[in-house]
């Protein structure tokens, strides 16, 4: 395969993946050319670190009904606040930790919700690497679960938002609310939501977090 770099900025690169003479496929990626997923061997592919983590956070304090913690985050390409899970890129510092996915997940949950994951809470890797839209980009996310065992409502804040991040509050979705959003295909305000939110809703309703 021949790879041609077409565009580069601080946040994204566009490559032309030439699979055969006259056969072009475009790949938008955060990765450097040498680390493109399309160039990895099967062994490298299976062991690669994903670009980011998406966190499925369940609050189960033993008093209130269990609920999935979601935020309304402004998504610039959609031009709206979309109901989303805490998520963010895996930093080089995370990769030096014993559990890189948990390190990144704890940071992103704190930055986007104000809640610190403690030793009393439970964390798990739901899926080590899923692709967002592999027809357009090689970006991948690990899906990490966190079960918080206390009432976190007094802790919730968006004051840790960084860069271009913008938020408009939280939703603690109990099972009835989650079922309604699955059935309607939209959130409680009638706004469509991201695929990772759909996955989080299904994970929560399945009871797999228990």
- 87 and 173 part of one domain: yes
CB 3 within 8 A of CB 33: yes
Instruction: Give the span between the Cα atoms of 33 and 29, in whole angstroms.
Output: 9
- 118 and 175 part of one domain: yes
Residue 1: name the closest of 28, 24, 35 by CA. 24
Instruction: Give the span between the Cα atoms of 148 and 69, in whole angstroms.
Output: 10
In sequence order, the 6+-apart residues with CB closer than 8 A to the CB of 112 are 71, 73, 86, 87, 88, 158, 160, 161, 165, 167
- 20 and 103 part of one domain: no
Residue 171's Cβ-count burial label (10 Å; 0-12, 13-18, 19+) is middle
- 110 and 36 part of one domain: no
- Give the pLDDT of the chain (210 residues) as one tens digit per residue: 899 999 999 989 999 999 999 999 999 999 999 999 999 999 999 999 999 999 999 999 999 999 999 999 999 999 999 999 999 999 999 999 999 999 999 999 999 999 999 999 999 999 999 998 889 999 999 999 999 999 999 999 999 998 899 999 999 999 999 999 999 999 999 999 999 999 999 999 999 999
Instruction: Find the domain containing 111 and state its range.
Output: 52-206
Structural domain total, the chain: 2
């Amino acid at each position: 395969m021949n790879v041609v770099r077409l565009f580069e900025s601080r946040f994204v690169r566009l490559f032309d993946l030439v699979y055969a003479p006259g056969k072009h496929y475009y790949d938008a990626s955060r990765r450097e050319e040498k680390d493109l997923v399309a160039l990895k061997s099967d062994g490298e592919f299976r062991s690669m670190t994903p670009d980011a983590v998406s966190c499925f956070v369940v609050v189960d304090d033993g008093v209130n009904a269990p609920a999935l913690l979601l935020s309304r985050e402004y998504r610039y390409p959609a031009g709206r606040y979309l109901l989303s899970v805490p998520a963010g890129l895996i930093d080089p510092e995370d990769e030096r930790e014993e559990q890189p996915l948990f390190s990144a997940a704890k940071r992103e949950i704190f930055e986007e919700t104000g809640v610190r994951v403690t030793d009393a809470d439970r964390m798990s890797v739901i899926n080590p690497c899923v692709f967002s839209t592999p027809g357009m980009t090689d970006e991948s996310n690990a899906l990490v679960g966190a079960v918080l065992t206390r009432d976190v409502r007094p802790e919730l804040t968006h004051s840790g938002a960084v860069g271009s991040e913008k938020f408009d509050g939280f939703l603690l979705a109990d099972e009835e609310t989650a079922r309604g959003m699955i059935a309607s295909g939209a959130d409680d305000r009638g706004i469509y939501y991201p695929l990772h939110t759909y996955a989080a809703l299904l994970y929560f309703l399945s009871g797999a977090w228990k």
